[in-house]
């Protein structure tokens, strides 16, 4: 997993906003998948840094979030 600035290649990806993001803005993330890699960025800063990880790490994160998302 790493963080890097969005490259021209990543800008050409098809980004999807989280289904939990409301129409009012706020805390929104976008996700894009490429061959073997998942990219996550702040929807308000599309040219800013993105978190990148392999699909196995993404699946582990989603599994953890699904189990612990309502805590807190």
Name the average pLDDT for the chain: 79
pLDDT over 90 (residue 19):
no
Residue 12: predicted pLDDT: 77
Binning pLDDT at 50, 70 and 90, where does residue 42 land? confident
Contact status, residue 13 vs residue 34, Cβ threshold 8 Å = yes
Other beta carbons less than 10 A from residue 58's beta carbon: 19
- Coarse DSSP helix, strand, coil percentages of the chain, rounded to the nearest 5 percent: 25, 35, 40
């Amino acid at each position: 997993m790493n963080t890097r600035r969005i490259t021209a290649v990543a800008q050409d990806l098809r980004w999807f906003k989280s289904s939990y993001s409301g129409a009012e803005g706020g805390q929104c993330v976008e996700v894009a998948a490429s061959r073997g890699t998942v990219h996550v960025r702040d929807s308000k800063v599309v040219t800013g840094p993105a978190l990148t990880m392999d699909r196995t790490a993404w699946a582990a994160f989603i599994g953890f979030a699904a189990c612990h998302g309502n805590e807190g």
